Structure 1
Amino acid sequence: MPATAQDTRRSYGIIGGLGPLASADVFFKLMQAMAAGGDIEQADVIFEQHPFRQSRGDGLASTATTERKLYVFDMIRDFEKRGVGAVVLPCFLSHTFIDELRANTALPIVDMMAALAGHVRREYPHATRIGVLASDYTRESGLFERYFPAPAFEVIHARAVDGVNPVAEAVYGADGIKRGHLGDRPLQLLAQAARDLAAQGAQVILPGLTEVALAAHAIGALPAPLVDSNRVYARSVAEGRREAAAKPFKVGVVGGVGPAATVDFMQKIVRNTPAARDQEHIKVHVEQNPQIPDRTENLIGHGPDPTIALYATCKKLEDGGADLIAIPCNTAHAYVERMQSSLAIPIVNMLTVTVQSIRRRFPELKQVGLLATSGTLGSGVYQRALEEQGLRQLAPSPAAQERVMEAIYGREGVKAGHTEGRCQDDIRAGLDDLARQGAQVVILGCTELPLLLPFAELRLGDASVVLVDPTDTLARRCVEMAGMAGG
């Protein structure tokens, strides 16, 4: 099928305000590059600029760096919401923390330094001594050394004059370029710094401040070529659409159904993740919504329908960049099928993965006991999942089921925060009933029940019953899927 006009359009967001004049220069040169390539009618370009308190780049304090980081990140978030395809960041200082930005956005950021390094390699293939006109902060960050690494290259910086960096003075001084001056004083300082670089053996000179590129055409003849980095960057942007940056795998969790079970599930994700340090754990987005109507009350015919509340919570996770959704609530799975077709990401079905896990562990098993809410039992969701694996569901007798519900919902039940006392007696009554029916494996089919029965196996008289925790199985599956995706 041929591409439509909409398919071929590209969109860019230019972050202005960090160097208003230089950012505008990049915008102008981008328009020139697109016009020259015949692409200007196939691109949407947003130039966004907000007031930003500037600090001298030659003595930038950590607080000022943080302000800059937050300003840039907020602009990127705004571009994400507006559907921008790629970010243009015309600021050398901001490229010192580009990796931090990329780790927290899926939007591609067109790398100005990579464009500059590629230009030097193409246009000056024999240049190994790279002169840089930069602020002290950018110099000390080692930004240029990362893109022009030793031993293939040697990066040379302009020397201070009477303790003053002439490049910073030309840009940030009282009559500097940032103040709108392109008179004799800043041009003389930049020419002086460029000649110093050439004297040190620089074969090509690169700006380390976008304002330097703004003045490049007016500096005059120099012993070594001075690259217009703004033009190089603009041409790189105009070359085409960038691929979205790889983002960490994110598990979305519908929380609050119930709150204690959500915390328990999170602990199981952490416990099942093979990680040696914090950064190796999985990214998780929990949307804690205890106001979702009670699922059991709805399924037994008395309570409001929780479908919209569940779906709205899932959509928030989807909008937040989750790659999958986990719902640590057995009863809520009665609503999964009706929601899944309207979601772009999968809900990992806790019931299905649990029953599949049981079948793998116990290939000869014929029947499985189920401790769950009356809503889950009445919905038949576990019964259908078990039958698909050739297993028969065993449920407590009506009298025993009343005690199971009391263990979960009673005044002294687990949802009220109790894990000892009467709730233990009630849940053991349900287990005893299943064991008398011949259950050797029992699913803890309510996510609060592992809080009452935190065992893998339990002895009931002469019988031994294996207890299966669906939330642990779900956590393991989420960790497995994250690993398969490289998250």
Structure 2
Amino acid sequence: MKSLTIGLAAGINPSVALALKAELIGVGARNDVRVNVVTSEIEMRKDAPDARIELGDRKIAALESVIELERAGCDEVVVPDVRCEPFFDEVQTEVEVPMVSLYRGLPAALEAAGVRRIGLLGVAVDREFFVKLLDGTAEVLELSDELKALYRTVQDPETGLRRTGLTPEHKAALLKAAEELLADGAELLVTACGQMARFVPDLKAEGLPVFDLLRDTAERAVLAPLARRPKPFKVGMIGGLGPAATVDLYDKIVKATPARNDQEHFKVAVEQNPQIADRTACLLGNGTDPTLAMFNCARRLQEDGCDMLIVPCNTAHAFVPYIERNLRIPFINMQQVTMEEIREKFGDAARIGLLATAGTVKAGIYGKKAEAMNLPMFTPDEAHQERVMAAIYGPKGAKAGYTDGVCREDLVSAVEYLVTTYDCNCLILGCTELPLILDETDDFRVAGKTVSLIDPTSALARRVVKEAKKAEAERGVR
């Protein structure tokens, strides 16, 4: 026997949820499907001071309920509240679990029955919603203002159907409303009220042609279950290493993305933690180990649904091997993608100069990759390495907010040393603060030569965009 787990956002509309649960189980039993119903008891706030805030409360309660049911492993979710139908797509966009709409089956049902004119029993959902839903395939009639006022007594939260059930007085009001709509030419009555939908069998017993909203919803959910929506790509960034480098990487990702509008960019989550201990100090033996702080950021990003992780700090990559093995999602390695771009661009002619923190140089996170690729790599002597460190950490350095003046002079001196001493033709700006001082270019003039400056941050941004496009194409997101 096939099994299906369906979630109900019961807390928003408990009585309708109970009726729909019975329909779901009944449809399953009649069609050899074991239906397991899981409920969310999240309720909507009842203290809204105006209609707009009440709408916001309803939307948030619906989304919170659906998220809870998604985490519970449901195959599909139904929000049994007709007032949520106008913003159905807003909720569905935020989750991957497929949601079964209450009214999306109506157009097909009308077409199958040859119905061209419907009458709305209720005022919880306005006529404009149904006009848009039916898109001209059927005329939509609504109650007169007089009967709308009468019908609102049926919907009253204290004395209406929700609290009392179908009393003789309510039944009389409903019959009067139905008679008016049928007299105006309605061929089928549609309940524009969730509470009303509970009593469709009673109305049918009176001989009224009423669309069975809950039965239709249950049959679509059970007999034609929806596929899970594709997950949009989401990259997680461990930020704050340092703050300016984080902004720089995010800016480069945005600029590298071929998007025509906001919605064509992909999702980026930043866990900004500037309090992570200095990575260079740790590698040089006189600082706190940042591994746990970095891992905790990565873990939160993983739980937030990220597919891959990035970190806008070269030196921090020395700690990635300890972190990545304890996660379910991978890092995009900044050094690896940089070295791959250099090999693609220069081939065996590459002579690489590395400008980086002393910690990065000591950890060999670039040097080991260059060696594995048989690419020659050179680093500054002690005096020029001190000037690179000053460009990064000095009182007039990039971490202090400076990008010109003394810090630029220090960095250019190291570039000149590597070019004149080792005939380097490409230089890696191997600390994410350094591209804030010198831009990536293939036309940097120094010591009478033209060399390339390689920005690992830009290389990482380009790879992130490539991975995002690949993943979303494979998943059919766009």
Same-fold call, TM > 0.5? yes
Aligned-residue offset at 1:136: 6.1
Q: In structure 1, how many angstroms separate the alpha carbons of the residues matched to 2:368 and 2:113? A: 68
TM-score (norm: length of structure 1): 0.88
Q: Which residue of 2 aligns with 1:480?
A: 466
AA at the equivalent of 1:339: I
- Residue equivalent to 2:83: 93
Closer, same or farther in 2 for the Cα pair 1:306/1:80, shift >3 Å? farther
Whether the aligned pair in 1 keeps the contact of 2:48 and 2:54 (CA below 8 Å) is yes
How far is 1:450 from its partner? 0.6
Residue 133 of structure 1 corresponds to 121
Mapping 1:418-457, distance limit 5 Å: 418-436=402-420, 437-456=422-441, 457=443
Secondary structure, aligned partner of 1:257 = coil
Report what 2:249 is aligned to.
265
- In structure 2, the CA distance between the partners of 1:119 and 1:384, relative to structure 1 (3 Å rule), is farther
1:108 matched to 2:94: no
Structure 2 letter corresponding to 1:178: R
1:361-387 alpha-carbon deviations (Å, 9 max, x no partner): 223523111101111111212123223
User: Equivalent residue of 2:229, what SS?
Assistant: coil
Question: Contact conserved, 1:195 with 1:223, CA < 8 A, in 2?
Answer: no
The 2-side partners of 1:265 and 1:421 are apart by 23
Distance 1:469 1:77 in 2: 40
Describe the SS at the equivalent of 1:164: helix
Question: Counterparts in 2 of 1:373-388, with a 5 A limit?
Answer: 373-388=357-372
Measured in 2, the distance between the counterparts of 1:241 and 1:337 equals 42
Q: Measured at CA, do residues 49 and 245 of structure 1 come closer, stay the same or move farther in structure 2, by a change above 3 Å?
A: same
Deviation at 1:77, TM superposition (A): 3.0
Please state how far the C-alpha of 1:48 moved relative to its aligned partner: 1.5
- Partner of 1:53 in structure 2? 46
Asked if the contact 1:22–1:214 (Cα under 8 Å) also holds between the matched residues in 2, the reply is: yes
Secondary structure of the 2:370 match is helix
Letter in 1 for 2:126: T
Residue in structure 2 matched with residue 470 of structure 1 by the alignment: 456
Tell me, yes or no, if the aligned pair for 1:93 and 1:138 is still in contact at 8 Å: no
* Maintained 8 Å contact 2:388/2:410: yes
Is the 1:17–1:52 contact (alpha carbons within 8 Å) kept by the matching residues of 2? Answer: no
Tell me the distance in 2 between the aligned counterparts of 1:31 and 1:476: 51
**Aligned counterpart in structure 2 of residue 404 of structure 1, from 388, 398, 408:** 388
Shift of residue 451, structure 1, vs aligned partner: 0.8
One-letter code of the match for 2:120? V
- The separation in 1 between residues aligned to 2:80 and 2:157, in whole angstroms, is 21
SS at match of 1:353: helix
In 2: Cα distance, 1:181 partner to 1:125 partner = 30
Extract unaligned runs of 5+ from structure 1.
Answer: none
- Are the counterparts in 2 of residues 175 and 186 from structure 1 also a CA contact under 8 Å? no
Post-superposition Cα deviations, 1:323-377, rounded to whole Å, max 9, x if no partner, equal 2212111112223334334333231111111111122222352311110111111
1:25 aligns with 19
Count of residue correspondences = 471
Does structure 1 conserve the Cα–Cα contact (< 8 Å) formed by 2:115 and 2:187?
yes
Relative to 1, partners in 2 of residues 1:17 and 1:98: Cα closer, same or farther, differing over 3 Å?
same
Please tell me whether the aligned partners of residues 372 and 404 of structure 1 are also in contact (alpha carbons under 8 angstroms): yes
Structure 2 Cα separation of the partners of residues 384 and 61 of structure 1? 63
Secondary structure of the corresponding residue to residue 362 of structure 1? helix
Deviation at 1:158?
A: 2.4
Find the counterpart in structure 1 of residue 155 from structure 2. 171
Counterparts in 2 of 1:430 and 1:34: CA distance versus 1, 3 Å: same
Q: Which amino acid aligns with 2:257?
A: T
What per-residue deviation string (whole Å, max 9, x for no partner) do you get for residues 240-294 of structure 1? 7542223432221111111110011111112222223222222211011222222
Task: Indicate the SS of the match to 1:369.
Answer: strand
Corresponding residue SS for 2:81 = coil
Q: Is the 8 A contact 1:296 1:376 kept in 2?
A: yes
Contact 2:127 2:140 in 1 (8 A): no
Amino acid aligned to 1:464: T
Displacement of 1:458 in angstroms is 2.3
Change (3 A) 1:51 1:95: closer
| Map of 2:277 onto structure 1 | 293
Query: More displaced, 73-82 or 322-331?
Result: 73-82
Contact 1:102 1:245 in 2 (8 A): no
Q: Which runs of 5+ in 2 are unaligned?
A: none
Report whether the alignment pairs 1:71 with 2:61.
yes
